[in-house]
Amino acid sequence: MNVQDSPDNSPQHILQSVFGYNEFRPQQQTIVEHLIAGGDALVLMPTGGGKSLCYQIPSIVRSGVGIIISPLIALMQDQVDSLRLNGVRAAYLNSSLSINEMREVEGALHSGELDLLYIAPERLMMPRTLDLLETLPVSLFAIDEVHCVSQWGHDFRPEYVQLSILHQRFPQIPRIALTATADSATQREIIERLALTEARQFISGFDRPNIRYRISDNTINAREQLLRFIRNEHQGDAGIVYCLSRKRVDQVAAWLTSKGLTALPYHAGLPQEVRKENQERFLREDGVIIVATIAFGMGIDKPDVRFVAHLNLPKSLEAYYQETGRAGRDNQPANAWMVYGLQDMIMLKQMQANSDAPEEIKRIERHKLDAMLGLCELTTCRRQALLRYFGDELEKPCGNCDICLEPPETWDATAAAQKALSCVHRTGQRFGVGYLVDVLLGKEHERISRFGHDKVSTYGIGSELNQSEWRDLYRQLIARGMLAVDIEGHGGLHLTEESRPVLRGEQPLHLRKFSRKAKAKSRERKANRFTDTGNNDLWEALRNRRQQLADEQGIPAYMIFHDATLAEMVENRPDSLVQLSNISGVGESKLASYGEQFLDVLNEYRGLENKTQNDTEEETLQLFRLGMNAEAIATQRGLKETTIYNHLAKGIERDEIPLDKVVPLEQNQLKAIRFAFEQFDSGKRLKPVFDALEGEFSYEVLRCVRSDITR
């Protein structure tokens, strides 16, 4: 399809006909219009916010080709494939193309056959490419992942700095720079380096409202907890599980596999081919779980990752935000789930203490880790804290994190904390948690007596808590910076300045209650996407069809339709191409390619449902004819009485059984009900009739009478 030739070239029309979406998201429309009018823009929008449309639609609407600069070569093909499935004329130029393919793309450029061209910055900067662009009508330049221009950020790319040349050589062509991560210093750097001072700024904040943050401090068998989480909430979903070490990655992947899940390992120690294949399967198949070190993720743009699980603590909130941010790019509900424990915390603290980095860097790292620990030990909304760290204010608690959903109970831990801290002091500030807890509990062992710690005042004074509760308490004290871990790496603890007010009794300490098994249970929710089993069956059927089509074409399943689109099909049950085209995500091109295929599934399913519906009705009627009443049938069939009455009402409507056998009513009662129905438009809705009769007759009775009337 040549989109530019379509009669209506408005952004709104392109949005609907090409991308199949009904409306723009709030910022998108303004950005699109600003660009079409020729303005420059700096766009900061969280992942999943919908940045791509901001340059794709103007590229289509404006004449000439839109040049999209992206550092992620691996993603270009996917983006181009996706656009082509929507009928957009797109191509890419990068080092993966052969000379011939390259010529082909250049030919298409020259003859004006492209609306979008993706290109890596280093290729763009080649004199040859720049010369080529000068001969072409260019509609806009989009600079994606523009934070790469920042020398202080972790993704710095020198080629990005050179992109300022675009402004010099192509001053009239609008530029849009986009990123999901840039604090205010980075924003200033971007503007300065790329000469974007005139650009209008669209800053949307960092919130990812569809991600549910959940952090639990229970590491007694983290693996089991993970399995339960996946089985209960993410059966058949794609997800990423992060572990700290390669060995742990291998173990967890193998273990999940042994439990019947599709879990593949990914870390830098695996051969290149294995890594590549596992990544491909993750992208292309539905419901694959990747177990990975943090080596995995950069440049993964899979939209339907439904959960990210951490079996270890990230080093900073930046890392946590970035890693969890890989979930739910399609804006559908997703989980960021983490378990962590004392051991993790001590290990990270030690790694940091032992690093060779200069003191000022170590100080920053310490500060970052403390912020991460702070998030873990929080007793208030996690999202508010996370966003505040990035300079965003969320006015109210979010309602979509574990704390909001299940506010933790706190207890006055002042006295216990004093005991724990003074035990550190009494034993000389060099022992680890295990030993300290033994002293508090008055354990008898050789080491304690050798050091004479069975004589200190804190020996045996801790019977009010058990071993794991004391460990929990120590963890919270470390997380709050009241205790520090030794540098030698033995896990020895010593007191910090922060502990003094508590030790002196000047400051009360309220801590989160210890997690209990029972509590973890109540958090479990239904695994299925839909509460109705019928809907789940249809959902699975649609997903199967999608996978089948994707396999045939060798593309990832999500490229055909996103989960959100399939979910809408389940909810709205379209039964014609026109109705299908109203589903969000179904544009003209995809409707033509896949519409029939998905309608088939929907229709087949409808047939099946009707059939089972008929079967179950028939069974009720048979029992009724055998002389059983509604109550007896309900008991025998294990169904609700209302359901049985529904079946019977259908039988009355089809004239298969008489009304008076089902509900024996007096003549005047029947008259009254009939009269009430006449008053209310023959009773499309039962409630007005029910109310008019002042609740004298049940809905079941009314339904049967209505069937008799419409018979």
Residues that bind ligand ADP (CB under 6 A): 21, 24-25, 28, 45, 47-53, 303, 329-331, 562, 584
Binding of Zn ion by 401 (CB under 5 A): yes
Stretch that binds Zn ion, among 105-113, 156-164, 168-176, 373-381 (CB under 5 A): 373-381
Q: For the chain, what percentages of helix, strand and coil (3-state, to nearest 5) are there? A: 50, 10, 35
Burial (0-12, 13-18, 19+ Cβ within 10 Å), 2: exposed
Q: Indicate the residue among 213 and 561 with the shorter CB distance to Zn ion.
A: 213
Binding site partner of 70, from ligand ADP, Zn ion, none, Cβ cut-off 5-8 A by kind = none
Beta-bridge mates of residue 334:
211
Stretch that binds Zn ion, among 146-154, 218-226, 399-407, 688-696 (CB under 5 A): 399-407
Among 398, 420, 482, 648, binds Zn ion (CB under 5 A): 398
Q: Rounded to an integer, what distance in angstroms lies between the CA atom of residue 286 and that of residue 306?
A: 11
Q: How distant, in Å, are the alpha carbons of 37, 339, 362, 368, 373 from that of 217?
A: 52, 6, 26, 19, 11
In this structure, are residues 219 and 341 in contact, taking their beta carbons and an 8 Å threshold?
Answer: yes
In this structure, are residues 257 and 227 in contact, taking their beta carbons and an 8 Å threshold?
Answer: no
Binding site partner of 706, from Zn ion, ligand ADP, none, Cβ cut-off 5-8 A by kind = none
Binding site partner of 150, from ligand ADP, Zn ion, none, Cβ cut-off 5-8 A by kind = none
Q: Least distance from C-beta 237 to Zn ion, angstroms? A: 22
- Size of residue set near Zn ion by CB under 5 A: 6
Binding of Zn ion by 387 (CB under 5 A): no
Q: Least distance from C-beta 215 to Zn ion, angstroms? A: 11
Reference 118, options 94, 154, 92, 136; nearest CA is: 92
Q: Least distance from C-beta 92 to ligand ADP, angstroms? A: 16
Reference 311, options 202, 227, 199, 204; nearest CA is: 227
Q: Indicate the residue among 226 and 375 with the shorter CB distance to Zn ion.
A: 375
Among 147, 234, 383, 703, binds Zn ion (CB under 5 A): 383
Binding site partner of 404, from ligand ADP, Zn ion, none, Cβ cut-off 5-8 A by kind = Zn ion
Stretch that binds Zn ion, among 339-347, 400-408, 466-474, 641-649 (CB under 5 A): 400-408
In this structure, are residues 408 and 218 in contact, taking their beta carbons and an 8 Å threshold?
Answer: no
For residue 568, what is the DSSP state?
A: H
Stretch that binds Zn ion, among 84-92, 378-386, 674-682, 694-702 (CB under 5 A): 378-386
Q: Indicate the residue among 192 and 406 with the shorter CB distance to Zn ion.
A: 406
Q: Rounded to an integer, what distance in angstroms lies between the CA atom of residue 649 and that of residue 2?
A: 55
Q: Indicate the residue among 49 and 121 with the shorter CB distance to ligand ADP.
A: 49
Q: How distant, in Å, are the alpha carbons of 640, 650, 662, 702 from that of 618?
A: 16, 10, 15, 21
Binding site partner of 383, from Zn ion, ligand ADP, none, Cβ cut-off 5-8 A by kind = Zn ion
Among 14, 142, 180, 381, binds Zn ion (CB under 5 A): 381
Q: Indicate the residue among 329 and 471 with the shorter CB distance to ligand ADP.
A: 329
Q: Least distance from C-beta 375 to ligand ADP, angstroms? A: 23
Q: What's the 3-state SS for 327-349?
A: CCCCCCCEEEEEECCHHHHHHHH
Among 404, 423, 586, 630, binds Zn ion (CB under 5 A): 404
Q: Rounded to an integer, what distance in angstroms lies between the CA atom of residue 240 and that of residue 309?
A: 6
Q: Rounded to an integer, what distance in angstroms lies between the CA atom of residue 506 and that of residue 632?
A: 70
Cβ-based neighbour number of residue 225 at 10 Å: 18
Q: Least distance from C-beta 562 to ligand ADP, angstroms? A: 5
Q: Least distance from C-beta 329 to ligand ADP, angstroms? A: 5
Q: Rounded to an integer, what distance in angstroms lies between the CA atom of residue 669 and that of residue 675?
A: 10
Q: Indicate the residue among 53 and 555 with the shorter CB distance to ligand ADP.
A: 53
Q: Which residues contact 446 (CB under 8 A, 6 or more apart)?
A: none
Q: Tell me which residues touch Zn ion (CB under 5 A).
A: 381, 383, 397-398, 401, 404
